[in-house]
Amino acid sequence: MAFADRSQIAATDGREGSRAGRLMAVILLVALMATLGIRQLVPAEALAPAIVTFLFAGSAVTAGLALLCRRDRSRIMWLDLAGSLTFVGIVISVFIEPDQLARLVSVSDQPE
């Protein structure tokens, strides 16, 4: 039975997947800590756009690290993490109201 022959399958120890999970958890924990830190610095209506920007920037850095990586398995892990961060950023950006963005980018009449 040729389809039951498992000799061609490379054995993996599963450390690559657990490392990816831990790295994703650390990245999201850092994003949560950044959210709590930024909350004191920016107004409440600017918090969601700031966090989304932070997640997109983190995704870009992660994708850049993936391009620098030489091994294919690690590259795929880094690209998966970049895609996950992008997905989380897009999900959070759904909760941003258009009025919030209009107030953030509009020119105010107040002198600086």
Question: For position 55, what pLDDT does the model report?
Answer: 87
**51-82 pLDDT, tens per residue?**
888 889 989 998 898 888 877 777 888 888 88
Question: For position 1, what pLDDT does the model report?
Answer: 47
Name which of 7-21, 67-81, 89-103 the model is least confident about: 7-21
Query: What percent of the chain shows pLDDT beyond 70?
Result: 73
Question: For position 86, what pLDDT does the model report?
Answer: 92
Say whether pLDDT at 4 is over 80: no
What is the domain partition of the chain in residue ranges? 44-96
CA distance 39 to 111: 25
